[in-house]
Amino acid sequence: MAARQRELLGRRALRLAFGTALCLAVSFGIDLPVPIIAPVFAVFLIASVPRPLSLKAGLGLVLVVALTTGSGLLLAPLLRYYFMAGVLCVGLGLFLAFRHGLQGGNNLVATFLAAGLTMISAAGTADMQLALTVVGALVKGLLLAVLVLGIVHAIFPEPLAASRPPVRAVPAAAEATRLALRAALVVLPAFLLALADPSSYMPIIMKSVSLGRQTCTTTARSAARELLGSTLLGGAMAIVFWFALKWFVHLWMFFLWMLLFGLLVARRLYRLVPSRSTPSFWLNSLVTLVILLGQSVQDSVAGKDVYTAFIVRMGLFIAVTLYACLMVQLLDAGSRLRKAGTHARARDAPQPSG
């Protein structure tokens, strides 16, 4: 790897690690309502946006997400009084959000919309005040993530002559519809589970949205390694992080340990360290680490049994991931059967006589 290219990738890795650590520390330091939202959004933003957002673009993104996710407030009464109709509307919203991202739309907006739609509508079924709190948490978390994006680009600027990341290929309309349906089906069971206790199962929704986003680029052959492997790795890193943090419990140590773990992941994500795993594998591992660790810290502050809660949460994460793998396999198998049937009918069709 050329020295200039390695330096560029090193800056990107530093931006991702430093931005995630800074966002995590600030989010817990100022006690945001749902503190894991901001660092998760920061991971997606920093990994996806090669340039800092202008003030207008940043505020526009926050406003779009606030308005679109606020639609979850309208679905809460529907879920409360007409459950099946409400679930179908949420499923349709997830499908449209993921398809928008796949068909050339802003993939970040699609991800934030999927998260907000499910989290807010689930919270609204229990308590409208909780739903308003989640809306505020999403907006504040995204504002903090946008601010951190600008800070890390100021500290580790992208060279003007740097090549932009390659534009992802836009799948055909039929393929985009299939992938969006698959992603929506991955998120829906976690959403239904969260309806039982929205305040406790918010992390499950965030994990399922991350998985739904990941399934849009995962093939059936690599699904188990990509989805389950990244979830298990994220859980293992969260365990090591937690015991390392116990040596000296302080917000600055929280920041420094997150910086170290973020660098370990980011160096592999940007191929500074050779890896057979895809960038989405490492991105999902980092998101899983942030969610699990952040919830464990919150459990500790609330006086809950951290280890029991972690085991239950990790078990749910693995169950959601296995279900996602199953959906990928089933829908890909169905797609292959349809294609085989189409080819067989075309082969057996009578040919026009000369």
Mean pLDDT by 10 residues, the chain (354 residues): 77 92 92 87 87 79 76 82 88 87 77 82 82 84 90 84 60 79 85 81 81 69 75 91 87 91 92 83 91 88 83 88 81 65 60 54
Residue 191's contacts (CB-CB under 8 Å, 6 or more residues apart) are 90, 118, 121, 122, 205, 208
Residue type, 208: S
Residue ranges making up the domain that contains 126: 3-159+173-335
Going 233 to 239 to 241 to 244, the CA torsion angle's sign is negative
* Domain contains 353: no
Residue 351 domain-assigned (yes or no): no
Supply the pLDDT for residue 1. Answer: 55
One-letter identity of residue 95 = F
pLDDT of residue 266: 92
Phi, psi of 250 (to 5 degrees): -160, 150
Which pLDDT does position 339 carry in this prediction? Answer: 61
- How many beta carbons lie within 10 A of that of residue 9, not counting itself? 17
Domain assignment present for 345: no
Number of domains in the chain: 1
* Any domain includes 293: yes
The token pair at 172 is: 């055909």
- Closest-CA residue to 259 (of 95, 66, 13): 13
Positive or negative, the CA dihedral 25, 28, 32, 37 is: positive
Domain presence at residue 181 = yes
Q: Is residue 153 part of a domain?
A: yes
What number of residues does the chain have? 354
Q: The tokens 């093939």 sit on which residue? A: 219
Closest CA to 326 of 194, 228, 230: 228
Cβ neighbours of 277 (radius 10 Å) = 17
Q: Whole-angstrom Cα distance, residue 329 to residue 348?
A: 28
Torsion, Cα of 53, 54, 56, 60 (10° steps)? 0
Domain presence at residue 120: yes
DSSP letters for 74-85: HHHHHHHHSHHH
Would 277 be classed as within a structural domain? Answer: yes
